[in-house]
């Protein structure tokens, strides 16, 4: 990528939650589309060996040209970056990513591996990082490379302890690895504020009044919406596929709230 802007201007946002299925990939993808709608350029980084984000695009990943090979020093970032649309770029993942993660974990300072790579990136406004479930080395590396972390969560009553634990991890990263990390907020996915189901509503209220979480709970919630699933399967931009859908509106609102919280 050509050098145009000062790299310090790039915001690097990571979507993280150690639980699977909370909407990390869906959020990463659609916040990227919403940012692009606003004229920004976006680099997506898929840190999950399940490759869901990578598979959300039609682009073919050439053999051995993915984040894992870059982390191992066998390719450069510019070798593997795919242009997946106008102003939209992807560092793809691969099922081989786990092996790369294991190998870099054995080296000192593995948490800084991704930051070092992204420090080289120029000429994009936002970098969005999708992380896997669990709290492996690559998630720590993503938090170390980020300027902000946002946490998609489902309002399950018994999820609160997990969220407190995750927040603690973010604070440790802030203290030891990345002082610049901002804990941007927690937003609920597949949830409607007018939902009358008691357990979900109670969970949201509990978190909103929680001493540690209160100010972190975001106003925007992402409603259950089939267009989000369809657009991803069809490898289409949500704002082309279903611009009037609830999903498109919710992700526009989420993007505005994210930008306001940076």
Ligand X SMILES: Nc1ncnc2c1ncn2[C@@H]1O[C@H](COP(=O)(O)OP(=O)(O)O)[C@@H](O)[C@H]1O
Nearest approach in angstroms of CB 129 to ligand X is: 12
* 190 lines the binding site for Mg ion (CB under 5 A): no
The CB-of-87 to ligand X minimum distance in angstroms stands at 22
Mapped onto helix, strand or coil, the DSSP state of residue 159 is helix
**131/147 with CB nearer ligand X:** 131
Buried b / exposed e over 86-99, threshold 16 CB at 10 Å, is eebbbbbbbebbbe
- Given a contact cutoff of 8 angstroms between Cβ atoms, the answer to whether 160 and 25 are in contact is no
State the binding partner of 243 from Mg ion, ligand X, none, CB within 5 to 8 A by kind: none
52 part of the interface to Mg ion, by CB under 5 A:
yes
Residue 219, both tokens: 């106003």
Nearer to ligand X, 8 or 244 (CB): 244
The yes or no reply on residue 220 touching Mg ion (CB under 5 A) is: no
Burial zone of 162 (CB within 10 Å; 0-12 exposed, 13-18 middle, 19+ buried)? middle
- Strand order of the β-sheet with 11-15 is 82-85, 88-91, 42-46, 126-130, 11-15, 148-153, 182-189, 217-222
Nearest to 116 by CA among 145, 159, 156, 147: 145
Residue 229 contacts which entry, Mg ion, ligand X, none (Cβ below 5-8 A, type-dependent): ligand X
Q: Which residues bind ligand X (CB under 6 A)?
A: 20-26, 52, 189-190, 222, 224-225, 228-229, 232
Which residue of 25, 56, 190, 252 would you call a contact of Mg ion, by CB under 5 A?
Answer: 25
Near Mg ion by CB under 5 A: residue from 12, 16, 24, 129: 24
Which residues are at the interface with Mg ion (CB under 5 A)?
24-25, 52
């Amino acid at each position: 990528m050509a050098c145009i802007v000062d790299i310090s201007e790039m915001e690097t946002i990571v979507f993280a939650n150690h639980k699977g299925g909370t909407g990390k990939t869906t959020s990463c993808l659609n916040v990227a589309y919403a940012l692009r709608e606003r004229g920004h350029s976006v680099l997506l980084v898929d840190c999950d060996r399940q490759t869901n984000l990578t598979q959300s695009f039609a682009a073919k990943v050439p053999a051995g040209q993915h984040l894992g090979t870059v982390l191992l020093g066998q390719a450069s970032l510019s070798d593997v970056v795919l242009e997946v649309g106008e102003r939209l770029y992807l560092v793809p993942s691969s099922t081989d990513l786990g092996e790369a993660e294991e190998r870099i974990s054995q080296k000192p300072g593995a948490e800084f591996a991704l930051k070092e790579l992204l420090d080289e990136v120029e000429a994009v406004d936002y970098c969005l990082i999708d992380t896997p479930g669990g709290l492996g080395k690559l998630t720590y590396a993503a938090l170390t490379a980020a300027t902000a972390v946002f946490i998609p969560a489902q309002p399950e009553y018994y999820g609160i302890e997990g969220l407190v634990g995750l927040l603690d991890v973010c604070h440790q990263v802030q203290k030891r690895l990345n002082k610049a990390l901002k804990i941007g907020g927690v937003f609920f996915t597949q949830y409607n504020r007018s939902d009358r189901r008691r357990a979900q509503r109670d969970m949201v209220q509990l978190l909103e009044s929680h001493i540690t979480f209160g100010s972190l709970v975001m106003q925007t919630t992402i409603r259950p919406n089939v267009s989000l699933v369809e657009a991803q399967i069809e490898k289409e931009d949500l704002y082309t596929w279903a611009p009037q859908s609830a999903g498109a509106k919710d992700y526009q609102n989420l993007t505005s709230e994210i930008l306001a919280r940076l």
